[in-house]
Amino acid sequence: MIEINHLNKTFTEKGSKVEAVRDVSLHIAKGQIYGIIGNSGAGKSTLVRCLNLLEIADSGDLRIGDQQLTFKNGRACQAGSGTPLSEKDQSRLRRSIGMIFQHFNLLDRSTVFENIAYPLRYTGMSRKEISERVDELLALVNLQDKRGAYPAQLSGGQKQRVAIARALANRPQILLSDEATSALDPDATESILNLLLNLNERLGLTIVLITHEMAVIKSIAERVAVMENGCVVEEGEVYDVFARPREEITRRFVASASALSRINKLLAEDSPMVRTKPGELLVKLTFTRESVGEAAISAISQKFGIAVNIVLASVEELRGVALGGLIAIFHGDAEQIQAALDYLIKDKVEVEVLRRG
């Protein structure tokens, strides 16, 4: 559905250059919810703005559905012929992609109805057709009773629903969501994420979800790309990235959304909960879909005669698949502890030794 190949975008401001997007290549399948996470300034917004040509990339190739584009000399061109895209083609492409933002970008002086109807002007639809389509969209986002309300009369979550309805007015195949839940409280965030998941399932909508919050990725994305300084530094299935983050920045994002991250505070404080005596080991175990459900802890205490003191434990659910985490102190004979660790690793449990007593 979306293929980004070697995309670059540099801004020059007052003589200094910012490489906002550097050699980014990503493939996003049709019907996927694809997360892009990164800290402020990582280049996330610039990257997605290049997808709907709100920014024109400096170089690279882009395929959106059946449109193959290549960027050169600051222009979007047809791949192959190299002819610059006509205004008409550009607006056709833009119409096939909806976008929602952190601050909703609604017209304050227009009603909910008018906001949603806005992109339907000049499409050749009659007033009656527009009215029917808006009603359909209001039902889709569950806001039928707010048809005549003004944005100021709506909650943040309701405003974002209006923005989603407006973004979907022209039946786009793709929805770009740029920090759409960042200004919302946790309940409204959850309800908007559920709505996005629902739209993805019901309409087969491909969603590119930008965020700086791993919890957002965790709740609805299937794949994720981690951006840092304009580059994609890590990419994969959300489950795998959570179970086995490779880059330091990814580890930090994963920890931020994990119930086990409290361990860092306990370690920093040298809490009695994590103090190890000589011979003891403080270990973090991650049980993935390959290993979860195994009675690993009772197995190792029986087989190797070691005591396991649990410090922290969690079971998370990533799109219906469990991911377990356990931080525990192992106590016993050194050789037996090592044999237990080897046993766990063989059993596909991720093992990380946090502290040796």
CB of 266 to ligand ATP, least distance (A): 30
CB of 115 to ligand ATP, least distance (A): 24
Query: Residues 355, 290: contact at Cβ < 8 Å?
Result: no
Which amino acid is located at 70 in the chain?
T
* Residue nearer to ligand ATP on the CB measure, 39 or 173: 39
> Which one of the spans 41-49, 73-81, 113-121, 271-279 is the region binding Mg ion (CB under 5 A)?
41-49
Contact flag: residue 181 with Mg ion (CB under 5 A)? no
**Contacted by 11, from Mg ion, ligand ATP, none: CB < 5 to 8 Å by type:** ligand ATP
Query: Residues 312, 259: contact at Cβ < 8 Å?
Result: yes
Give the integer Cα–Cα distance in Å for 158 and 65.
31
CB of 357 to ligand ATP, least distance (A): 41
* Residue nearer to Mg ion on the CB measure, 212 or 348: 212
**Contacted by 18, from ligand ATP, Mg ion, none: CB < 5 to 8 Å by type:** ligand ATP
Contacts with Mg ion by CB under 5 A: the residue count is 1
CB of 273 to ligand ATP, least distance (A): 35
* Residue nearer to Mg ion on the CB measure, 45 or 219: 45
Give the integer Cα–Cα distance in Å for 56 and 78.
13
* Residue nearer to ligand ATP on the CB measure, 45 or 115: 45
DSSP for 282-320, please give it.
EEEEEE-TTTTTS-HHHHHHHHH--EEEEEEEEEEEETT
CB of 20 to ligand ATP, least distance (A): 3
CB of 25 to ligand ATP, least distance (A): 17
Give the integer Cα–Cα distance in Å for 315 and 122.
51
Question: From the centroid of its chain, how far is CA 297?
Answer: 33
* Residue nearer to ligand ATP on the CB measure, 225 or 308: 225
Query: Residues 237, 178: contact at Cβ < 8 Å?
Result: no
Query: Residues 316, 322: contact at Cβ < 8 Å?
Result: yes
Question: Which residue of this chain has its Cβ atom nearest to Mg ion in the complex?
Answer: 45
| Coil, strand or helix at 138 | helix
Binding to Mg ion, residues 116-135 (CB under 5 A): none
* Residue nearer to ligand ATP on the CB measure, 22 or 94: 22
Contact flag: residue 45 with Mg ion (CB under 5 A)? yes
The torsion angle over the Cα atoms of residues 165, 168, 169 and 173, rounded to 10 degrees, is -170
Q: Which single residue is written with the structure tokens 């990164």?
A: 38
* Residue nearer to ligand ATP on the CB measure, 16 or 126: 16
* Residue nearer to ligand ATP on the CB measure, 38 or 324: 38
CB of 260 to Mg ion, least distance (A): 29
**Contacted by 233, from Mg ion, ligand ATP, none: CB < 5 to 8 Å by type:** none
CB of 226 to ligand ATP, least distance (A): 11
DSSP strand pairing (174-178 vs 97-101): parallel
Which residues on neighbouring strands pair with residue 355, listed in sequence order? 282
DSSP strand pairing (33-38 vs 206-211): parallel
Give the integer Cα–Cα distance in Å for 3 and 7.
10
Which residues lie near ligand ATP (CB under 6 A)? 11, 13, 18, 20, 38, 40-46, 212
Which amino acid is located at 224 in the chain?
V
